[in-house]
Structure 1
């Protein structure tokens, strides 16, 4: 793995450690290490609002003395921040007032204050802010807190607010930053195609290191794109991308899966898939969608193989993929029943026959159906007009 400097935001780093603690498949050693790192950050940064909640969630014993020290530290820090705000109001200009209010809002956000208190602190700071760029930075800070909370519904609201602000102004860097935040939201809500498009547009201009390092960006880009891009586009935008090539070598399973998919090396693809699954299993954004990813990527690879044949023996196909005929038969049957593969299996003859879709007939049926819907609406409208 590359030795990238970790510039990830404290709350995002903590969220990843908490993911390890919440994951049933994490080893006892990994959980112990994650717990130690979380508590170290809590005590070092004075995160009083998080401490009691974490102890309650994981059944840790609350150290009352340290908890009291944390609350005292937060109270003292907030008092100092209030003094700076008052001094700025009385003796300094609007920009200094804004900076002081923003500092307090970010501190309240970091230390784990209740959601309403955080939102109020940022609203007060935003009311004193004129520059679009500074307002966007405040929303980005709240987006980080939403990611930590796992509150993707609120994240959607904040993203829309960012877009509205960007319509009034905003620089190129913040526009690119929003793409990455939105791609995180889209991944979390299983919109891999849309997330992949945004990530692809960010790989050459990535600066959002507060969320994750560049190597992780490439991981997300490849995972989202292999399930949504056609083979030609995948080659052009991902396989041959200089940015992807610069770091994908540090993730050998991912590199093998990507290249074997493009080169139609299906045995190599299935050999790399468990390793990629392990990577996904260890990522807090991707892990909830592991089964979906495995289903989608297998659907892609089976469809790609069958497009080259009118019919192929089940044994030959199984050998090509490096799996047993019984496994492949069950796999293909599930995809055929769900309508994801246009083929049929002749179990007696041991042959898989590809059914070429009748695109003209499908288009005709869709047109007829839409026409019927339109006529029904026109008739309803006509009845309303006659009544008037």
Structure 2
């Protein structure tokens, strides 16, 4: 297990509140986000971050508040510097490391990115313990997530991975899965992210990165898109960790159950609700919302069409709870782009599936690989003889 509880420093929920306040479309969420952001800034005495946020006009700059926080920041850093100087003059390596980590942690807490990153790097260099070094690397990853610095995230995920391979404990290994999964999610690698999230589902401890129910929500979002119907039932719908959290995630419960039970009209409603409540308002999912919604629609259409050789446009529109024109236009677009294997007979109002033959695909694969093998054998025979 980790030596101590990992604190949410920096607090990623504040970055989420900041993101919401920058989105005019979510003005109904602004009051709550503004209250939580200001409360978090005051609680952690985040004078540098407060100035950054206020510079974007999402919060007014309270001169009295920022002056008071800057005074407290200066006093605290002065005390830490004195402690560090004493450790360097009279104490040993362990005490110096502790002081360096205390300074790095405080700068990270106040949201002064450049100084925090430099302090964390110095602490990483001077800290002897493997577990503590892993924690510092993960803190640098959190700083990257907090400020949207993808290069920082990538660099210190790699370093944390290398350190864990040297002998990290199971708790840090499992926390790293969540960190890597969140990064993969942010770059639209949903399949890989979902696999890591499912692996960490029963042993989740990375509450410093994301609250548990939000983690379950992300696991459902990624898995609904990437898992087969059988695996969705086995790994998500039947998972006790998911079932425990589902009462607090009704939209996601409707999404996966209606998809699995083939209630496509309810699925479309749940997907539209999910877009507004979980995808667009999320820092990590918002850039991928259009992609995700489109792919989920294709998944639902594919799942229905696989069960039939042909369907009328009217029955399809009825199944999805939309108009015939909507289904016609959407299927036409997906068929033209090669995402659905079907044709539309507009005269008779019928959609006919034309799935590629599995046997033909296997035969093509055998022939292609056979040609490669024969070429390699011929080249080898020339060398030998």
Q: Is the partner of 2:338 in helix, strand or coil? A: coil
- Alpha-carbon separation, structure 1, partners of 2:58 and 2:217: 34
DSSP-derived class of the 1:180 partner: helix
Q: Within 5 A, what are the aligned runs for 1:5-24?
A: 9=9, 11-24=11-24
User: Conserved in 1, the CA contact under 8 Å of 2:252 and 2:270?
Assistant: yes
Query: Counterparts of 1:1-388 in structure 2 under 5 Å?
Result: 9=9, 11-27=11-27, 30-58=29-57, 60-115=59-114, 117-280=115-278, 281-362=280-361
Contact 1:193–1:224 (8 Å) recurs in 2: yes
Q: Deviations over 1:270-319 (max 9, x none)?
A: 23222222222232222221111111111111101011111111111211
Alignment RMSD (CA, Å):
2.5
Deviation, 1:219, is 0.6
Secondary structure of the 1:227 match is: helix
Closer, same or farther: CA 10–149 of 1 in aligned 2, 3 Å:
closer
Q: Please give the alpha-carbon distance, in whole angstroms, between the structure 2 residues aligned to 1:59 and 1:226.
A: 35
**Match of 1:383?**
none
Residue 94 (structure 1) shift: 2.4
Structure 2: which 5+ residue stretches go unaligned? 1-6, 377-385
Distance 1:43 1:213 in 2: 21
Distance between the aligned counterparts of 1:272 and 1:181, measured in 2? Answer: 28
Alignment partner of 1:57: what SS? Answer: coil
CA apart distance, 1:144: 1.4
Farther-moved stretch of structure 1 (290-299 vs 355-364): 355-364
Q: 1:40 to 1:214 in 2, by over 3 A?
A: closer
Deviations 1:188-220 (A, max 9, x none): 111111110000011100001112221111110
Q: 1:318-354 CA distances to partner (integer Å, 9 max, x unpaired)?
A: 1122221111111111111111111111111111111
SS at match of 1:353: strand
The Cα shift of 1:110 comes to 2.2
TM-superposed CA distance for 1:31, in Å, is: 1.9
| SS of match in other structure, 1:344 | strand
Cα distance, 1:145–1:371 mapped onto 2, change above 3 Å: farther
Secondary structure of 1:203's counterpart equals helix
Distance in 1 (CA, whole Å) between partners of 2:170 and 2:299 is 35
Tell me by how many angstroms 1:59 deviates.
6.3
2:22 and 2:58 in contact (8 A); partners too: no
Q: What's the TM-score, normalizing by structure 1? A: 0.88
Q: Distance in 1 between matches of 2:129 and 2:142?
A: 21
- Structure 1 pair 301/88, CA: closer, same or farther in 2 (3 Å)? same
Residues 189 and 263 from structure 1, CA distance in 2 versus in 1: closer, same or farther, beyond 3 angstroms? same
Q: Aligned pair in 2 of structure 1 residues 41, 23: CA closer, same or farther (>3 Å)? A: same
- Partners of 2:375 and 2:160 lie apart in 1 by 40
CA contact (8 A) 1:81 1:104 kept: yes
User: Is the CA contact (8 Å cut-off) linking 1:11 and 1:145 kept in structure 2?
Assistant: no
